[in-house]
Amino acid sequence: MGAKTIAVLTSGGDAPGMNAAVRAVVRSAISFGMNVYGVMRGYNGLLNGDVKEMNMRSVSDIMQHGGTALFTARSPEFNTPEGVKKAADFCREKGIEGVVVVGGDGSFRGARDLCGAGISCIGVPGTIDNDIACTDYTIGYDTALNTAMEMIDRIRDTTESHDRCSVVEVMGRRCGDIALNTGIAVGAMATLVPEVPYDFERDIVERMKAAQRTGKRHYIIVVAEGVGHTQELTERIQAATGIESRATVLGHVQRGGSPTLRDRVVASRMGYHAVELLNNGASNRVVAMKGEQIVDFDITEALNMPRIFDENLYRVSARLSI
């Protein structure tokens, strides 16, 4: 009763581990006796017919590489009712009954629309920001965390040698998870996230002065992208404390790199689960991780869930940082 021919695409910002998800979709599909297409450059590939039939060897030796071997791109045309219909027609023409979409919330809205046009779709959460409400974990998150941490470990060397304060901006526009976890892992004096307002005097200046009294001479402050004003904040800190302060914006480096084990393994499990869902005739589902379990939700419900910030972890982080 499930799909006999499926396709897989990556959409939105790329994330390390997307290749492991694609590989798992292709290999699982073949092991279930399905045909499987790779769709190039997100939904665009369904609009301009840029797909290729995949076999066991098509996905060899891609898992260890960052980025996505299927490429990704925005698709303004697909964001119209005509675009969705055109994509669905293309799928029917090719015999594609199910599509696995690896991406973020925006990509899942596309998947929901494509379901509405008669093609079974399964979403797989792939984005470094961990900003998808229904899942504890998104593919790419662990690699981005480790990249940010390793870069701040390097910055710490020079910060410490010069008795300075370094203010480091990490990714996370709406979601402070990268900042919070990286902050704990590098022993940041303070961590600023979009979910929690901060008081400059109490949360930064007074903490630095208290630490200084215990003998501390160098400081790391981690700021999520969504908090912003990193350069300005840095100057303010230097003015208020007299400690030489420098800003660094880590930027796109955080998106790339060979995926960590966790990203490869979770992506493999999620890709497998997505195909199992299609094989069982499911549609309009998004794969998610809860604790160590792989589960799934209705896409529309998932898109409406509120994201919950881990306030408790935030409080622990404050205890450890002075």
Query: Which residues sit in the known binding site?
Result: 13, 23-27, 74-75, 104-107, 127-129, 156, 164, 171-173, 213, 216-218, 225, 246, 252-255
Q: Is 138 in the site for a second copy (CB under 8 A)?
A: no
Is 129 labeled as catalytic in the residue annotation? Answer: yes
Restricted to residues 68-97, the positions that interact with a second copy (CB under 8 A) are: 68, 71-73
Catalytic position from the list 113, 129, 142, 177: 129
Distance between CA atoms of 232 and 181, rounded to whole angstroms? 23
- The residue range among 114-122, 190-198, 201-209, 258-266 that interacts with a second copy, by the rule CB under 8 A, is 258-266
Using CB under 8 A, which of 97, 129, 142, 225 touches a second copy? 142
Q: Is 64 in the site for a second copy (CB under 8 A)?
A: yes
Q: Is 223 in the site for a second copy (CB under 8 A)?
A: no
Using CB under 8 A, which of 56, 95, 173, 231 touches a second copy? 56
Applying CB under 8 A, the site for a second copy has a residue count of 83
Q: Is 241 in the site for a second copy (CB under 8 A)?
A: no
Restricted to residues 157-176, the positions that interact with a second copy (CB under 8 A) are: 157-163, 166
Q: Is 23 in the site for a second copy (CB under 8 A)?
A: yes
Active site residues: 129
